Structure 1
Amino acid sequence: MVLVLLVLVPEGMMLVTGVKSPAMAVLSESMEPAIKKGDMVFVHNMSNEPFREGEVVLFKVDGFEHPIVHRVIKVYEHRDTGEIRILTKGDNNSVDDRFLYASGQLWLQPHDIIGRVAGYLPYAGWPSVFISEAYKMLLNGGSTTTPEVLWV
């Protein structure tokens, strides 16, 4: 019975949220004070609504192992083509995320967005943070440079 639950619950969550792994631990301070390192965020991708400034999204960037959770600070729709462009920024960062995007990329597009953060659970991600930092220390000879979020 327990084995069945371990298989069916994640599959059910994936169907409900539209995201492969709908819960993940935040591994950095870039979204503080709104979302803190060690919080668990819950992501969904079932909304057909347009992206809005102020919402928190999860996106993937080429060259980064883990996705990033940051706030949308600008949404631009090209009048002629209808192309949507999105600019993000961590609440605790002094500049926008263009330095994180792929080389030459100035905006995210909707296909770069994995999902929208629907909520979070404070402190629930700390076990994943500890494991990730211990693993990084082993691999990097003591360095604890961490990615943005860790899939759970």
Structure 2
Amino acid sequence: MLAGLQNPRQLAAQVLNFGLILSTAFMRGDLLFLWNRNLLSETDVGEVVVYNVKDKDIPIVHRVVRKFGVGDHAKLLTKGDNNAADDTELYARGQDYLERKDIIGSVFAYIPFVGYVTIMLSEHPWLKTVMLGIMGLLVVLQRE
């Protein structure tokens, strides 16, 4: 009798594992590694930077496309790689450029697609319950 129950359990485990693997194929969102160099060195055109905008909670990650001046008084213009226009619409009201004080750090490395899980869990809290249920089910099905 146990041998008969083992086949449906194995089938269910394989289906769940396949679903988990398939779902990871559609993930987006990168895990970024930042270098906060205390802004001692210059920020150059082409660098991907993370910056804060006044009165907004979430930092933005975009590339520097123009730079005017040097040092602490440099004015930086950013743009998302997949955006048609620069970020001036994203900046605070009355702000046309970023300054060095707005920059949190520069991206020096990234792991693609890893961050999507965190994004989805924070945007849809019910997914935490679903994921815990799936993990619990996998534990039950994997027992021998």
* Candidates 105, 112, 119, aligned match of 1:122: 112
2:122 is aligned with 1:132: yes
2:101 is aligned with 1:111: yes
2:29 match: 38
* Candidates 35, 53, 60, aligned match of 1:61: 53
Identity of aligned residues (%): 41
Q: What are the ranges of 5 or more consecutive residues in structure 2 without an aligned counterpart?
A: 1-26, 126-144
The residue type paired with residue 66 of structure 1 is I
TM-score (norm 2): 0.63
Query: Structure 1 residues 37 and 106 mapped into 2: Cα distance closer, same or farther (>3 Å)?
Result: farther
Distance 1:61 1:82 in 2: 17
TM-score (norm 1): 0.60
* Candidates 33, 43, 46, aligned match of 1:51: 43
* Candidates 87, 96, 104, aligned match of 2:86: 96
2:73 is aligned with 1:87: no
Q: CA RMSD in A?
A: 2.5
Distance 1:37 1:57 in 2: 19
Q: Which runs of 4+ in 1 moved over 6 A?
A: none
Query: Structure 1 residues 102 and 125 mapped into 2: Cα distance closer, same or farther (>3 Å)?
Result: same
Structure having the larger proportion of residues in helix: 2
Between Structure 1 and Structure 2, whose CA radius of gyration is higher?
Answer: 2
Q: What are the ranges of 5 or more consecutive residues in structure 1 without an aligned counterpart?
A: 1-35, 136-152
Q: Secondary structure at the match of 1:131?
A: helix
Distance 1:64 1:82 in 2: 23
Distance 1:99 1:124 in 2: 28
Distance 1:45 1:133 in 2: 27
- Report if the CA contact (8 A) 2:72-2:99 is conserved: no
